[in-house]
Amino acid sequence: MTIPVALLGLATAAAPHTLRQADALAAARGLFRDRFPGFERMAPVFETAGIRTRQTAMPLDWYLEPHDWTERTAAYLDAADALFAAAAAAALDEAGLTGADIDLIVTVSSTGIATPSLEARAMTRISFRPDAARVPVFGLGCAGGATGLALAARLARATPGSKVLLVVVEVCTLSFRTDKLTKADIVATALFGDGAAACVLGSGDGGVARIEGAAEHTWPDTLDIMGWRVDPTGFGVIFDRAIPPFARDNLRSAMETMLAGQGLEFDDIDRVLCHPGGAKVIQAIETALSLAQGALDHERVVLADHGNMSAPTVLHVLDRARRAGLPPRSVLAALGPGFTVSTVTLAAP
């Protein structure tokens, strides 16, 4: 018999500075209009992205100056440490636990490098036990929230009685570049925000939801769709193929295959909770999955208020959905580099 795993606590955290989309557009126009002849043709993406505000690790003026890898890494460590602590503490509090109760910590982050990793840096701050196991995960990009939740659930199921803490932290805005400029950089400038989310899991029932299953699908020959380029200045975004049409053409069949592996059909799912990569991605997912236009309402609100925070964004969507009341069965889904879709099937408690 499969051991049930419960999501005992869920919390989100936002970066300290709020950036209005109109201010982001004005700053980008001032920087790039004279250097990038096609900027005005690209500028409407700031208005069509579906974003009103975003939260950023640094104040706007910081991004308008050049920064090298060392400075960006220092900014990442400061911001990620604070976001990790805030999200972890809130999730533990909801679960009625402390850091000392956690047996294993999964940390997901792909927007900076920390060695020692973020959970090690938080050991004293969160009062983790010295014998707590640590699993830092890098490279999942936007799929990291769903994949991280699936991994944490597997670990909780494998060690009955243990408590597993998942913390997902991304500081996407540090990829903003003033030295190189591509169409992908402009799109990223219009989309990215910073944030975190954390979950506490344990074997048993109750809590926010029960983890029923998880699955991933990676399409072959799709490494060029999404990722990072790395140079002495830092990370630079790669969007070499349009994501909305790819999702529209390929997502449904992958979802059906993944659900079939769990003995489910798509009609068994009451609600799909998706990573809102952008307004066009949301529309493409609704089309691909034959959802009513506007069905992904929580996704649109999270995108409008926070932008695309990469991995934690889908957990922000889950947090909003559970506060509104989860239906009997949901599927959490996120697309990310690989090119991959990662899913977690949830049952209401």
What number of other Cβ atoms are within 10 A of residue 206's Cβ? 12
8 Å CB contact between 179 and 143: no
Give CA–CA dist 16/81, Å, rounded.
13
> Which listed residue (142, 172, 199, 274) is catalytic?
142
- Measured distance CA(81)–CA(301) in Å, rounded: 26
Smallest CA-to-CA distance from 340 within 116, 59, 192, 140 is with: 140
Q: Indicate if 274 belongs to the active site.
A: no
* Residue 310 to residue 172: CA distance in whole angstroms: 7
DSSP string, 23-34: HHHHHHHHHHTT
Alpha-carbon dihedral 170, 16, 173, 340, rounded to 10 degrees: 30
Q: How far is the CA of 141 from the CAs of 15, 246, 277, 339, in angstroms? A: 18, 17, 11, 10
Element (H, E) at 202: strand 194-203
Give the containing element (helix H, strand E) for 104: strand 104-108
Distance CA 89, CA 223 (A): 36
* CB-CB contact of 335 with 247 (8 Å): yes
Show which residues are catalytic. 142
